[in-house]
Amino acid sequence: MSSCSPSVSVAPTPNTELISAAVAATMTANTTSNAEPAPKAESDDKDAPKPINPLTGLPVDEPSRLDRRPVMVKVSNFPRLGRPHAGLSFADIVFDYFIGYGTDRFLAVFYGQDSPSIGPVRSGRRVDSQLVTMYGGVLAYGSADHDTDEVIVTRLGKYAISNLEAPYPVYVGTDTHDVMGVFANSEAFSKFVDEQGLENEKPDLPNMVFSDAPPVDGQPGEKLTVLFNYYNRAEWRYDPQTGKYLRWIEYMEEDLGTEYEMIPLVDRVTDEQLAFSNVIVIFARYTELAPSAHDIDIWGNDRGQKAYFFRDGVLTIGKWKAKNDSDPIEFLTEDGLSYQLKPGNTWIVIEGLNSPIYETEPGEWETYFLLP
């Protein structure tokens, strides 16, 4: 498999036609499938309760979406010319972690919703195989270097499907070394899994607990800044009107320059700023195997590592556990009780154990990535 190393150099001109093609393909498929809908029986109960997505605590408009494995897609954050990303606003959960050279990459989980375009899709990392197993998912990724791919395929088997192994419209584009070379379609991905004859039943997804009630304890947490290096900056600013944290990101005229400004990070599918109900920082041990290859200790954390939970403008300090390799991460208060997330989507930053987190101004927090 070809590797896809992180880079902060200027990249080729973005190919926006790939995104338009992905959206158009989905719209055409939906038009065809919905041309002659079967009539509903008059006895159908329109008031029947909708099933609850265990990853968001919210009802799902199309219950059939929960009758499948989550689609978990690798999304690039560098080079910057790949921004704004596509499809992240539709994800139930986004994992955000260090991949070397001061850069980070995302693993986005699509279960209760689908997006016609997700990306740019880039190469996998070892930790993906842990997280995909824990959430009973299937991995969509842009291949990986030989050693990493061996780990991923050994653990996930046929549930690791690279852009080299699935046709259009599952993936649009083929070259993950092009900044805008490959995008994925989560609905088409699920259909492809079915077509391959792979088991695609909904997994058991325990451990995430939700409540509409804001935390009664805690301290002001209205802003979080995440630095993977000084020029790789993410800001989450709490918006009282929506009750969500809005995402901001650094913009630089020159990719290797020193001057930046913070701008809203939008989803290029919706052209709206990313907004998440929960932002969580968890701390885990990184083992550096090479400058762009790391093991991250997610599995086996049965004693608990520290976690910082941001919701409703409030910070609560607690811990996280991964007691079973096949269950989602468990979030707990310092007293060992289940931490109650706000119903909605969740962004999870995985920091190194030595990463500091501190209050810079009242209610404003900052964390800077450090190994291990």
Does residue 327 fall inside a structural domain? yes
- 277-313: buried (b, 16+ CB within 10 Å) or exposed (e) per residue? bbbbbbbbbbeeeeebbbbbbbbebeebbbbbbbbbb
Residue 171 — φ and ψ, nearest 5°?
A: -125, 145
Does residue 118 fall inside a structural domain? no
3-state secondary structure of 223: strand
Q: What residue ranges of the chain have pLDDT lower than 70? A: 1-46, 255-257
Does residue 229 fall inside a structural domain? yes
Does residue 35 fall inside a structural domain? no
Beta bridge partners, 13, equal none
Q: Quote the pTM value.
A: 0.89
Does residue 310 fall inside a structural domain? yes
Strands 160-162 and 138-141: parallel
The reported pLDDT for the residue numbered 354 is 97
Return the amino acid letter for 195.
Answer: E
Quote the tokens at residue 338. 């289940």
Q: Cβ(357)–Cβ(367) under 8 Å?
A: yes
Beta bridge partners, 73, equal 108, 140
**CA–CA gap between residue 329 and residue 322 (Å, rounded):** 5
Does residue 317 fall inside a structural domain? yes
Does residue 148 fall inside a structural domain? no
Sequential DSSP letters for 292-308: TEEEE--TT--S-EEEE
How many domains, the chain?
Answer: 1
**CA–CA gap between residue 159 and residue 342 (Å, rounded):** 30
Q: How many CB atoms lie within 10 A of CB 265?
A: 20
Q: Cβ(110)–Cβ(72) under 8 Å?
A: yes
Does residue 120 fall inside a structural domain? no
**CA–CA gap between residue 340 and residue 319 (Å, rounded):** 12
Alpha-helix runs per DSSP H in 228-321 = none
Strands 278-284 and 346-352: parallel
Sequential DSSP letters for 104-173: EEEEEEESS---S-BB-B----HHHHHHHHHTT-EEEE----HHHHHHHHHHHGGGEEETTSS-TTTEE-
Q: Which domain holds residue 308?
A: 209-276+299-342+360-368
Q: What torsion do the CA atoms of 78, 99, 270, 240 make, to the nearest 10 degrees?
A: -120
Give how far the C-alpha of residue 36 lies from the chain's centroid of Cα atoms, to the nearest Å: 35
